Amino acid sequence: MITLDNVHKTFGTNAVLRGVNLSVAKGESLVIIGGSGTGKSITIKSVLGLVTPEHGTITVDGKNISNGDRDAFLARFGMLFQGGALFDSLPIWQNVAFRLLRGSLKRPKDEAREIAIEKLRRVGLKPDVADRFPAELSGGMQKRVGLARAIAAEPEIIFFDEPTTGLDPIMSGVINELIREIVVEMGATAMTITHDMTSVRAIADSVAMLHDGVIQWHGPVSEMDTADDPYLQQFIHGRAEGPIDAVR
């Protein structure tokens, strides 16, 4: 349903993506792994049109993302940003229900608030955070609010940029389960970036490893441990020695 074909993105002299080819089927949960700074976030941002690649085509349902109605396109997506990206002028519940308070998915305020509180509960937050402001929450709590916002309007396609970073192991487990549930129950298509191998095994149908601006390895999660790609093996076992330099 989502395909990236030969995508290139350069910042100044820093060629981040150098021909990324990737596809995700409908209802599939893809996890992208790869070293810090390899361009994982840039890859998903380019699908959303937040970053414009110099070369290459990205299609969703066979349609080029740069054509057609942006609003209708974006209404199908949910995105959790790496840094949370909560609106600090709005209380938590209005952050979560942002989409439900305006635009094409607008609904009555009470209803939007109820949905927000329900989504907060799903990410392990109590209703009393609803009226607080983002700056009053811890980093991990902000991350979970971001997650609640991403799923609030029940989008078909969801991107999670490091959903469990900064969370304790128990909360990570809750979030992994939640992401799995969203894919299985709601039939959503998910692309998740994570560095946490436990998460990879819990969330992924398939795994793609980004290295040196290209997809180094892409396959089902069941084949990840037996694949003979030295880059992948070094990464998943966290070895200092191997083809990937520690200093990049």
Where does this chain bind other proteins (CB under 8 A)?
45, 48-50, 71, 74-75, 77-79, 81-83, 85-88, 98-99, 102-104, 149
Inter-CA distances, 18 with 6, 9, 34, 159, Å: 8, 7, 15, 21
Instruction: Choose the contact partner of 36 out of Mg ion, ligand ATP, other proteins, none; CB within 5 to 8 A by kind.
Output: ligand ATP
Locate 219 and state its tokens.
């396959």
Site string for ligand ATP, 19-38 (x = CB under 6 A): ---------------x-xxx
Inter-CA distances, 44 with 50, 57, 169, 199, 245, Å: 9, 13, 26, 18, 24
Query: Per CB under 6 A, does 41 bind ligand ATP?
Result: yes
What is the distance between the alpha carbons of residues 58 and 61, in angstroms, rounded to a whole number?
10
Q: What is the DSSP letter of 144?
A: H
- To the nearest whole angstrom, how small is the minimum distance from the Cβ of residue 33 to other proteins? 21
Residues engaged in binding Mg ion (CB under 5 A): 41, 82
Q: Which of residues 47-106 bind ligand ATP (CB under 6 A)?
A: 82
Instruction: Choose the contact partner of 48 out of other proteins, Mg ion, ligand ATP, none; CB within 5 to 8 A by kind.
Output: other proteins
What residues line the site for ligand ATP (CB under 6 A)? Answer: 11, 14, 16, 34, 36-42, 82
